[in-house]
Amino acid sequence: MILFKQAASLRDFLHKTSGDKKTVGFVPTMGALHEGHLSLLSESLQHNTITVCSIFVNPTQFNDPADFEKYPVTLDKDIEKLENAGVDVLFLPAVKEIYPNGTTHLPQYDLGYLETILEGKYRPGHFQGVCQVMHRLLEVVSADNLYMGRKDYQQCMVVKKLLEITQISTRLHPCDTLREPDGLAMSSRNMRLNETERKQAVAISRVLDRIRHSVVAGPLEPVALAAEKALEENGFKVDYVAIAAADNLELLEEWDGERKLVTLAAAWLNGVRLIDNMLIP
């Protein structure tokens, strides 16, 4: 595995090594790698000639500075996992490599409805930060294929919108969420849970799974409200539990029993904010 810290050096390397028949797969991460990340890298390694992983904790997508400061950093372990997985390239940039002119006066992107609901509503500016860093990373890597986990379902939709806005030719591949044996979605934030909180955390996936298996055609609000109540009874402070159209995240009041849905939740367990989602059916 080759490690690059400068964008120009990485760009030159990829330009020299990627010919007409070679494809570049890209997995962007913020480190604290787990099996979910490794599954994305495995997809890339299977279908591309060169696989690039980036580790960059992006300051512009944290609307809470304290959350940014607490984000887990496990770089030595991350590098070992990437080497064992057979990843070709690690891009490990400093902030000045991603934002050479600083983090103020950055581009703004017209994301429409996505910034008014759910994560867009509860984390103002978050999706702009996601677009800012992804736009820059995609310019540097020039990947043919981009792999992201459906664990961040809304983020996948935002990046899809970014690709449309910028006309970048990279193809996005959303991949299934990996879960722990008890159902908890794998997440770097899980590292911040103590033993008691970790046992409580599984309530999110159980509540969403209950919705997935029990929802029927008709009004959806009572279903979401019941799920919120269940999480509160399990010690969570709930931002939202929602049921939306899977293709565009339109929040639905009624379901016709046929349209594909996604149920999503975000809730706090003490100082740790956890998110999850499940497709229906």
Query: Any known ligand binding at 151?
Result: yes
d(CA 268, CA 238): 6
Torsion of CA 154, 158, 59, 87, to 10 degrees: 90
d(CA 220, CA 225): 9
Query: Any known ligand binding at 186?
Result: yes
Helices 221-233, 203-214: inter-axial angle, 10-degree rounding: 160
Query: Any known ligand binding at 189?
Result: yes
Query: Any known ligand binding at 102?
Result: no
Query: Any known ligand binding at 34?
Result: yes
Query: Any known ligand binding at 39?
Result: no
Query: Any known ligand binding at 20?
Result: no
CB 184 within 8 A of CB 190: yes
Query: Any known ligand binding at 15?
Result: no
Annotated catalytic residue, options 15, 37, 105, 173: 37
What is the token pair recorded at 169? 């030719």
Is residue 47 annotated as a catalytic residue, yes or no? Answer: no
d(CA 76, CA 68): 19
Q: Any idea which residues carry the catalytic annotation?
A: 37
Binding residues for ATP, as ranges, are 30-37, 149-152, 178, 186-189
Binding residues for (R)-pantoate, as ranges, are 61, 155
Binding residues for beta-alanine, as ranges, are 61
Binding residues, as ranges, are 30-37, 61, 149-152, 155, 178, 186-189
